Each structure stands twice: as structure tokens, then as C-alpha cells.
Amino acid sequence: MFSPLPFLPKVPPMTPEEFAALPWQGLTAHIGPVSQVTPLFEALLKKTNCALYMIYLGCVGLCHRRTASVFDQKLNLLLMEQIFAYQFDGRYPKTFGITIDDVDDTSDKARAVRRSIAYFFFELLERAPGGFLSERPIMDIAYMIHLTRHLCGAPNAAAVDGWLRGLIQRLNEIAPSLVQHSPFLYDYPDRESWAAATAETHGAPLPLEVLDLALDLSGLDLVARATEELAGIDAAQNQLLVPPGALLAEGFDGRPYGRDR
């Protein structure tokens, strides 16, 4: 398991007392109404889906650091690996059931917050059975940004928002997408041409280094570096990833995760 904490703003962990005082009327009460999320669309447009997944991964890292002292972090660590692996193949991730009732729960705040961090990514996966999401997952990313802001709190808002602005600007430069709308299957003469358009929307995998705004990425082969990092993931140790043996048994062509079985 990996953690991208060294790449992120130094958001201090909440104390148990701060967590107890954190307002929580359920997830949907704290991600902001759609009217607040809508302005993010402009900032999140015109970049690949892989770029959007890296924003989500970075937000999980911030939530991981912020909640480290108040509940178990295993799900966050597994989730970051899952998000990263999803850039490479839609067959890699698997989900477990998290319902809206789980995240809108007010009786067990720690459990609800822990599951809320994963909720929107699982929603994204469940809308894309058997392959990459063809629609841009902008709303899920926007909701996750709002949840991250809520958990990090007003004292950390400048650091979090500054990092987000910098990351979005970087992704505009290194992972632009000229596709103006999501590829819709029935707009194409056959599934192969639709799959090619979907691949363009999805984009190339990005390494964890893109989250480090202090790092100069010039000269770094982003895909090669991301591929190296993928091979460092042991999917057999991550319940959110399909083990290599299972993928091979299902007819996977090649070496899953770039590793030997």
C-alpha cells in the first residue's frame, strides 16, 4: 500500500475532540448543494478522466491525513491504490457495498465519514460495469472536493484550495482533452470506434508525482513512471482489486498490474 502524503499540503490531523465537534448530518448535507458544485464544472472540464481520477486520489490523501488520528485508515489506503490502478484497466477494481444510508448515517459518525470518502468513487465504478466510464466523472470529483473541504475545515482552506488550483492548472497542461462531450455508444457506427473515442476521453495514466506541485515534471516520462508505480502494487493484498490470478483465469491478456502472477 502507498500513501501520497509527502506530495500534499501539510494539513494537520484532527484531534478526537475536533472530530467529535465536526458537524455531521450525513454526507449529502456536507458536500454542498448542486448549485455550489456547478461552478467546479468549468475548472474540471477539458482534461482527461485519468486527470480527474488523480484529483480524487489527492483528495483521499488529504482526508487520510486529516482523519488519521480518529479512525482506521485501511480503506483510504486501499482506495488510493484502487483509484490509481483504475487508470490502467477497468477490470482491476472491485467494490463492496456502500449505500446512501451508510454515508448519511448520523449514529456512527466515524463509520459514515470513513465510508463517505470512498462512496463517490464506488458510485463511479458501479456506473461503468466491465469497462472505463464513458461519461466524464466530473460530478463525483466535485462532490469529493466538497467533502474534502468540509473535513479539512476553514483553517486549512487556503492550503487545500491553493493546492487544488495548482493541480488543476498542471493537469490542464499535461493531460488536456479536446473531447467536448462524452462518447455516446449510439453516436458511433460500431463498438470499436466508440471504444477508440472512449480511450481518448480516458487518457493516459499519470504517476503520483503529478500531485507534488513543487516537482518539475519536465523530462519525466509520465506513463513509464506510472507503470513502474503500478507494478509496485500487490493486488493480492488489496480487497478492492481483483487478484492477478483471477484476472488471468478470466482471460486477461498480458501481465495484470505489470507483475508476475
Question: Which of 36-40, 192-196, 207-211 ranks highest by mean pLDDT?
Answer: 207-211
Residue range 36-59: mean pLDDT, rounded: 89
pLDDT, the chain, mean:
89
* Residue closest to 102 by CA, chosen among 111, 92, 91, 90: 111
Residue range 25-50: mean pLDDT, rounded: 84
Torsion sign, CA atoms 58, 62, 68, 71: negative
Question: Would you state the pLDDT for residue 39?
Answer: 79
pTM exceeding the 0.75 threshold for the entire prediction: yes
Q: Please determine, for residue 130, whether its predicted confidence score (pLDDT) is greater than 50.
A: no
Contact (Cβ atoms closer than 8 angstroms) between residue 146 and residue 138 = no
Which value, to the nearest 10 degrees, does the dihedral of the CA atoms of residues 167, 161, 13, 84 take? -30
User: Which position has the higher pLDDT, 97 or 170?
Assistant: 170
Question: Would you state the pLDDT for residue 72?
Answer: 94
Count CB atoms within 10 A of the CB of residue 229. 19
Torsion sign, CA atoms 70, 106, 60, 9: negative
Contact (Cβ atoms closer than 8 angstroms) between residue 10 and residue 159 = yes
User: Which position has the higher pLDDT, 188 or 155?
Assistant: 155
User: Which position has the higher pLDDT, 36 or 133?
Assistant: 36
Q: Please determine, for residue 193, whether its predicted confidence score (pLDDT) is greater than 90.
A: no
Torsion sign, CA atoms 35, 40, 46, 47: negative
Least reliable range by pLDDT among 25-39, 149-163, 164-178: 25-39
Least reliable range by pLDDT among 97-101, 151-155, 180-184: 180-184
Alpha-carbon span 64 to 115, nearest angstrom: 12
